Amino acid sequence: MTPTQGKFPLKAFTRLETPFYYYDLDVLRQTLTTLKNEAQKNRVNVHYAIKANANPRILSMIQMYGLGIDCVSGGEIRAALKAGVPADKIVFAGVGKSDWEINLALEAGIFCFNVESLPELEVIAQLAAARSVTAPVALRINPDVQADTHHYIATGMKENKFGINLGDVDAVIDRALSLPQIRLVGLHFHIGSQILEMNNFAGLCSRVNEIQDRLARRNLMVEHINLGGGLGVDYHHPDQAAVPDFAEYFSTIRRMLRLRPGQSLHVEPGRSVVAQCGSLISKVLYVKQGSARKFAILDAGMTELIRPALYQAYHKIENISSDEDAEKYDVVGPICESSDCFGKEVTLNRVRRGDYIAVRSAGAYGETMSSNYNLRPTPKSYFSDDLI
């Protein structure tokens, strides 16, 4: 028996149709408890980035811990409100907000719009005027800071589409201050995702300090600084490192960032909150001997978990129903795409048809990114509390 086998209720799994997402709610509770404690200790306001996982059961648990929500669409705002999150804890980011989404957010009375361009600012002002309300706005600034992560998930360098370029910030601030429907309340940043180098966050803080100094020379100060999300998780050690090091992350930004008196600090973690509690569970359909390698062909594919195909992401893969000697397999799905591969030369306990395979650390950007390509059904989800 490998140590992980005891982590999964295999007997209960045999009653369920694969593939499905399995969420270990104890891991989620531990993560949320640590996150909440460390946030309180460091006086950080947390808005969970709902795009990482919007499963209603997960959301209701996150809501119980009192976190706010970071949304990037009208649908996400609706999901957050439905989960019982107070509107004044919701932030709304995104480079392309539609009019209906802006109207929805204005009507709900959210905490803040994270505004990514001058034309967006103008539209929000117009829509707010039409409703005779004011819109609380933080400007999302592209800090031109390097993040050591896959280039598809780096967002804070000047060639990225996100945020307002440093050179344009003064003009956008001037415009915001001139619009009576806009209340400029904050500055927002987000440099990317799956960041494990605390230096990257320290670099962001230095840049924020420079920007704040520039504003201070104009006698300007905003109410809050929002550093976005991005804290990474250890995909190689889902059990040993189940709870991310929020203490180190918060203490780094607290130490590096020079907040002004009365200014509040906000963050938007997504992945680090939910990645480790989720596993994609599938069954082996066939073991196929190729000319050079052996394939384990699963009943789950990129339609359930697209991260390996989209970002060449690594996930730990385990055969949870075998204790036979290890062999190497290319672990692939059934989808008609060559990129539908979870891992090459993966060491697994000897695989046979019908074995259960767990793809670990799949709680973030797994279920939310699933698709119906090849007309496959939307994956179901099950929770440790219900399966004993």
Output the smallest distance, CB 351 to ligand PLP, in A.
32
With binding defined as CB under 6 A, does residue 376 bind ligand PLP? no
**51 near ligand PLP, judged by CB under 6 A:** yes
| Candidate list 19, 74, 143, 270; residue touching ligand PLP; CB under 6 A | 270
The least CB distance from residue 195 to ligand PLP, in Å, is: 7
Of residues 158 and 218, the one with the C-beta less far from ligand PLP: 158
Location of structure tokens 């190497």: 328
| Minimum CB–partner distance for residue 340 and ligand PLP (Å) | 24
Q: How far is the CB of 5 from ligand PLP (least distance, A)?
A: 29
Q: 121-155 in b/e burial notation, b at 16+ Cβ within 10 A?
A: beebbebbeeeeeebbbbbbbbbbbbbebeeebbb
CB of 154 to ligand PLP, least distance (A): 11
Site residues (CB under 6 A) for ligand PLP, limited to 181-200: 190, 193
Quick note: the x/- pattern for ligand PLP over 6-45, rule CB under 6 A, is ----------------------------------------
Which 80-109 residues touch ligand PLP, going by CB under 6 A?
Answer: 93
Q: At what angle do helices 99-108 and 118-130 cross, to 10 degrees?
A: 60
Contact with ligand PLP (CB under 6 A): which of 269, 301, 308, 363?
Answer: 269
Q: Which residue lies nearer to ligand PLP by CB, 70 or 318?
A: 70
If the CB atoms of residues 8 and 246 are measured against ligand PLP, the closer one turns out to be 246
Position 52 contacts ligand PLP (CB under 6 A)? yes
Q: Which is nearer to ligand PLP, 93 or 320 (CB)?
A: 93
Residue 229 interacts with ligand PLP (CB under 6 A)? Answer: yes
Q: By the criterion CB under 6 A, which residues form the site for ligand PLP?
A: 49, 51-52, 70, 72, 93, 190, 193, 228-231, 268-272
